[in-house]
A and B are shown apart, each in its own frame.
Chain A
Amino acid sequence: MRANAATSRRAARPKGCRVLFGTVGALILVLSGVWTIVLAQDQPQTPAQPAPAAAPKEDQPKKDGKAPENVEMLPSSDAASMLGKKVKGPNGEDLGLIVDVLVGPDGRPRAAVIDFGGFLGVGSRKIAIDWKALDFGPLRRAGTAILGLDRAQIAAAPEYKPGPPGTDVVTAPTNSAPPPVDTQK
């Protein structure tokens, strides 16, 4: 019985090897495909700079040790990264993450697209929020922007639709004061 098992195992090996090699080959194929995509994409997902202020970024000839003349310091108190940052409501509730910024022909931001609601990524919707309705004051220290509307108020908003006719944008309520400055972190 044991001997029989052993021989059958030995006999099975070449076939197993073939399958193994086939699988490894398939994996290599997939990996090389991925690699091509990586090269083609040229790392697009380094967090986009907000840079609404037109910062001239021409090619800078590298001079050792000394900064070239067309470079200036942008203090961290003046600007902060905003993609993927949280948007909170007036009572500190999470509203969603900033996933995109809509910019006008003049380079000024017109609206932020947020990914709103959902649980573990299920059931979230993208909603465009008027740029003026957002308070970016706390972005630098707390990493969040504040919207003066709560969940229930923006839940019914139409979904963000990129493309020709245009998209609906949620604006700040006209009758209420701008969002309070002191907010919990």
Chain B
Amino acid sequence: MSVALAKSKQEQDETALAGRGLDGLNLFVANIQTGFGPFIAVYLTTQGWTQTAIGTALSIGTITAMATQIPAGALVDAIRNKAAVAFFSIIAFSGSALLLAIHPTALWVYAAEVLHGFSSCTLGPAIAALSLLAVGQAMLGPRLGRNARFASIGNGIGAALMGACGYYVSERAVFFLTAAVTLPAVLSLLPLVRLHDTALPARPSPGGRPARAPISSLLRNRALLIFALCAMLFTLGNSAMLPLAGNTLTKEAGNFASLLIAGCIIVPQLVVAVISPTIGALANQRGRRLVLLIGFCTLPVRGMLFATLDHPAALVLIQGLDGIAAACVGILVPLIPSDIAGQSGRYNLSMAFIGLAIGVGATISTALAGWIADAFNARIAYVTLAVVGLAAVLLALGAMPETRPSPSATGPDGH
């Protein structure tokens, strides 16, 4: 009796420790990713790169991420040891950052972009898979809420830290700093190393054969297809909005523009950090559909507000809505595939499918909004994005089924 109790106590400690590990992992990985954003363009410019060459390098990164998304998802599914996947992905980030810092010449920058593009495709699914292993399907919603909280704190700290580093030290130093942050990220993996041993119960295996669902069954899954389409439309409306707002600020806000743009980046992160655990619990208690609709509804509202108000302070406040959407979508992108395919051995492939849809949406979004803002004006671009966002809402409202497992599987059903 006392032995059993002690054992369960130890198990509890291990679960708590794994939770801490996931907290740290999300924090530091988000920190690392900040350096790889639009900032690369600034850095390469300081290294005497022409705009055309920078465009080529960034396209290589985008194309790699798109092309390897699906194979990367399948790879993560096939490897039992998700912590190892996360480890190698983080090491690849570190190598990528060092290549950029040490050798900003064509071949090395392209190599860094390919390395980063591929490893982002393996790291995201690996973190989600580790979360699922750590807490189980029933508690995944709240866990993903916590992931989103720590990731957004990491994003916020990363933006502040790297902004300061670029300003006071040098643009190159940002990438050395990025490489240094991979160390704590790897350390956060330590408590998660054991997790792959428990990966098996997800698979009922008559005759010892792993019952992995056929890939075609995923493509025939209506909920997954609708969610992919929803996610694509949402991203199509969403991802160009911040750059557009930044542009407006640079034009309108004079001396304080950079500060206000920093605000536009950090305010949504703050909102995510505050609300995402609540959203995660909400997804568990009231269902995924509600959370999806809450998140999506903010997009057309934000687009219309941007189109009608152009006071700099207002723009920063409106960005708070982005935080709500980011929390909802950030939690649902790993959660809905886990509802659909968490038990089928195709969890990461399903996530990769959603990831690909998001990538396509983001790529079209920037091109579309840039073209509209150029040919007409920013206001019309905001309205267009808002309309696309509205389409996402309507699609989710009309066609997206509830994917939450029946209450008996998730325990007591809310209140």
| Chain A interfacial positions (CB closer than 8 Å to B) | 4-5, 7-9, 11-12, 15-16, 19-20, 22-23, 26-27, 29-31, 33-34, 37-38, 41, 43-48, 81, 83-84, 93-94, 97, 99-100, 115-125, 150-152, 155-156, 161
Q: How far is the CB of B64 from chain A (nearest CB, A)?
A: 5
Residues of B close to A117: CB separation below 8 A: 250, 257-258, 261
CA gap between A20 and B110 in the complex, in Å: 23
Cβ-Cβ contact count across A and B, 8 Å cutoff: 180
Report yes or no: B80 in contact with A9, Cβ–Cβ below 8 A. Answer: yes
Partner pick for A123 among B162, B212, B257, CB 8 A cutoff: B257
For residue A161, which residue of chain B has the nearest CB?
B374
Docked pose: A126 CA to B162 CA in angstroms: 23
Q: Which residue in chain A gives the minimum CB-CB distance to B211?
A: A8
Which of B47-55, B129-137, B354-362 makes up part of the contact surface?
B47-55
Chain B residue at minimum C-beta to C-beta distance from A100? B51
Instruction: Check B48–A81 contact: CB distance below 8 A.
Output: yes
| Contact partners of A83 in chain B: CB under 8 A | 45, 48-50
Additional A-B contact list (6), CB under 8 Å, known A26-B71, A30-B68, A156-B251: A11-B210, A26-B68, A45-B105, A81-B48, A120-B265, A121-B40
Contact of B75 with A118 in the complex, beta carbons under 8 Å:
no
B242 interfacial by beta-carbon distance below 8 Å: yes
**A93–B379 CA distance with the chains assembled, in angstroms:** 30
Give 22 A-B contacts (CB < 8 Å), ordered by A residue: A4-B208, A7-B208, A12-B210, A16-B79, A19-B77, A34-B110, A37-B110, A41-B56, A45-B53, A48-B48, A83-B45, A115-B42, A119-B259, A122-B261, A122-B265, A123-B250, A123-B257, A124-B42, A124-B246, A150-B255, A151-B254, A152-B255
In the assembly, what is the distance between CA of A185 and CA of B167, in Å?
Answer: 14
Task: Mark interface residues in B78-93 (1 if CB within 8 Å of A CB, else 0).
Answer: 1110000000000000
Residues of A with C-beta under 8 A to B107: 38
Judge whether B27 is part of the interface by a CB distance below 8 angstroms: no
CB-nearest residue of chain B relative to A17?
B78
In the complex, what residues of B have CB within 8 A of residue A155's CB? 250-254, 257
A29 to chain B, nearest CB (A): 8
A11 to B209, CA, bound (A): 6
B39 surroundings in chain A (CB, below 8 A): 120-121
The answer to whether the Cβ of B106 comes within 8 Å of any Cβ in the partner chain is: yes
Please tell me which one of the listed residues A33, A93, A120 contacts residue B166 in the complex, with CB atoms under 8 A apart. A120
- Name the residue on A nearest B252 (C-beta): A155
Known: A100-B50, A118-B261, A120-B162. A20 touches B252 (CB 8 A): no
Contacting residue for A4 out of B47, B111, B205, B252, CB 8 A: B205
Contact status B255-A123, CB under 8 Å: no
> How many interface residues does chain B have, given as a range?
35 or more
Nearest chain-B residue to A123 (Cβ)?
B246
Bound-state CA distance A123–B41 (Å) is 12
Q: Are A47 and B210 in contact (CB under 8 A)?
A: no
Given contacts A5-B200, A22-B71, contact A121 B38 (CB under 8 A): yes
B245 close to A (CB within 8 Å): yes
Q: How far is the CA of A84 from the CA of B245 in the complex (A)?
A: 25
User: What is the CA–CA distance of A41 and B50 in the complex, to the nearest angstrom?
Assistant: 12
Q: Which of B136-161 contact A (CB under 8 A)?
A: 159
Residues of A within 8 A of B210 (CB): 8, 11-12, 15
Taking a contact as CB atoms under 8 Å apart, the answer to whether B114 and A20 are in contact is no
Contact B38 A120 (CB under 8 A): yes
